[in-house]
């Protein structure tokens, strides 16, 4: 199905950014929300993205005017009867999303695709609220949507092949890199980033290193942003909720660090609240240092040193678990983590470069020290036992001549 018109339900900064991306491709797009202030934010976001392009000499004012004219903003579903795809970007609460899909069923033509921008919730569960489960799919943009190239395409249990192909083609028309991902908690990129963020929080609360030191080592190892800067940007409420979802799905590998709960409890949510792992405005007590002391008193666990492998290797290990579970293929896992998380080289390619035997040995040592968070994926053990050690043996996750 060719997509002639799109809609975004759920405004604000993310909705505005997605609408801008669609309009830039030349398609008309309707942005709908129940709050006029949110619609105003979406309009301002789209305008600011275009004005930034003008300042950089990439667009002229007349072209911006024509692109902005493709976006309409409204409080109702008027005109949704000829929309071919709806991208839902409402709050991450299943009850809200399901209520929206029931409304969309009545407003849209039977062939319209419903695509959720959720970062973690079940596509199949959303589909249960619609009369078109075969047309329900995940289409997860990364923030900021106008910059980040990756789109995770997540079929639900009843999504048909035509819908998957339509959304892949639509993503490509938006100049994005689509990666089809099997439905699971956290999907792919957030699932792999979870252990990276969580293990950094454990190291911090144990006094192994400061937030600045850990972030510095992470960027030195090739990550575009340290785990604490990333968490503060995403919002610690978002990270905390996602951590709980993945812990429930995957068990002890994802047991959340206590400091995350402390910060969440005191509403220190990162940049949007003025304080999180870093301070962005006048901070009210307790400080991060106070909360770390509280966690240390409760857990009685301290470590004296920090190596960046402690946060990088759990991410590599989780990539191997995801491959083992057929969440995505080798190339797609590497591509997704480069395009969606900014890694210089994908995690499976990194494992091949380092040597799978070395990765296994380091994980086993960490497992002995810290427990089940570092339990190596069975597929990693199998490859090492078979002598498939990566580049040095000519074969690992990929073959080398």
* Catalytic positions, written as ranges: 140
Instruction: Give the residue from 143, 121, 150, 140 showing the smallest Cα distance to 242.
Output: 121
Give the integer Cα–Cα distance in Å for 203 and 7: 43
Q: Are 252 and 372 in contact (CB under 8 A)?
A: yes
Collect all residues with Cβ–Cβ distance below 8 Å to 278 and sequence separation of at least 6. 211, 228, 229, 232, 270
How far, in whole angstroms, is CA 156 from its chain's centroid? 18
Kindly give the pairing relationship between strand 136-141 and strand 150-155. Answer: antiparallel
Cα gap 362→254, rounded to integer Å: 18
Q: Give 270's strand partners.
A: 275
For residues 29 and 7, the answer to whether their CB atoms sit within 8 Å is yes
Whether residue 315 contacts residue 192, with contact meaning beta carbons closer than 8 Å, is answered with yes
Distance CA 135, CA 130 (A): 9
Which of 341, 351, 345, 354 is closest to 320 using CA atoms? 351
Nearest to 339 by CA among 186, 89, 147, 139: 147
* HEC assignment per residue over 374-397: HCCCHHHHHHHHCCCCEHHHCECC
H or E segment to which residue 320 belongs? helix 309-324
Cβ density class 301-317: b for 16+ within 10 Å, e for less: eeeeebebbbbbbbbbb
């Amino acid at each position: 199905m060719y997509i002639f018109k799109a809609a975004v339900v759920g405004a604000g900064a993310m909705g505005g950014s997605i609408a801008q991306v669609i309009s830039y491709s030349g398609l008309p797009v309707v942005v709908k929300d129940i709050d006029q202030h949110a619609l105003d934010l979406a309009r301002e976001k789209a305008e600011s993205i275009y004005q930034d392009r003008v300042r950089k000499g990439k667009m002229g004012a007349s072209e911006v005017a024509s692109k902005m004219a493709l976006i309409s903003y409204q409080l109702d579903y008027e005109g949704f009867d000829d929309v071919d795809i709806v991208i839902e970007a409402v709050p991450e609460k299943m009850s809200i999303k399901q209520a929206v899909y029931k409304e969309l069923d009545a407003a849209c033509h039977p062939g319209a695709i419903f695509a959720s921008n959720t970062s973690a919730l079940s596509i199949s569960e959303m589909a249960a609220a619609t009369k078109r489960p075969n047309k329900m799919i995940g289409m997860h943009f990364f923030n900021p949507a106008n910059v980040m190239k990756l789109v995770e395409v997540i079929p639900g249990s009843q999504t048909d092949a035509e819908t998957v192909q339509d959304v892949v083609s639509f993503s490509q028309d938006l100049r994005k890199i689509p990666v089809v991902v099997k439905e699971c908690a956290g999907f792919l990129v957030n699932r792999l980033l979870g252990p990276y963020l969580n293990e950094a929080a454990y190291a911090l609360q144990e006094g192994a290193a400061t937030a600045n030191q850990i972030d510095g080592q992470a960027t030195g190892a090739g990550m575009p942003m340290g785990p604490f800067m990333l968490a503060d940007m995403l919002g610690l409420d978002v990270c905390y909720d996602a951590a709980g979802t993945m812990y429930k799905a995957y068990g002890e590998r994802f047991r959340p660090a206590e400091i995350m709960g402390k910060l969440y409890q005191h509403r220190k949510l990162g940049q949007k609240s003025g304080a999180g792992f870093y301070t962005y405005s006048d901070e009210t007590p307790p400080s991060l240092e106070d909360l770390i002391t509280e966690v240390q008193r409760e857990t009685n666990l301290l470590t004296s040193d920090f190596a960046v492998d402690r946060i990088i290797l759990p991410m590599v290990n989780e990539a191997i678990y995801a491959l083992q579970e057929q969440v995505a293929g080798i190339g797609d896992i590497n591509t997704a983590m480069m395009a969606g998380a900014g890694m210089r080289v994908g995690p499976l390619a990194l494992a091949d470069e380092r040597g799978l035997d070395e990765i296994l040995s380091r994980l086993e040592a960490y497992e002995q020290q810290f427990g089940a968070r570092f339990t190596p994926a069975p597929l990693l053990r199998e490859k090492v036992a078979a002598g498939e050690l990566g580049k040095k043996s000519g074969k690992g996750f990929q073959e080398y001549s």
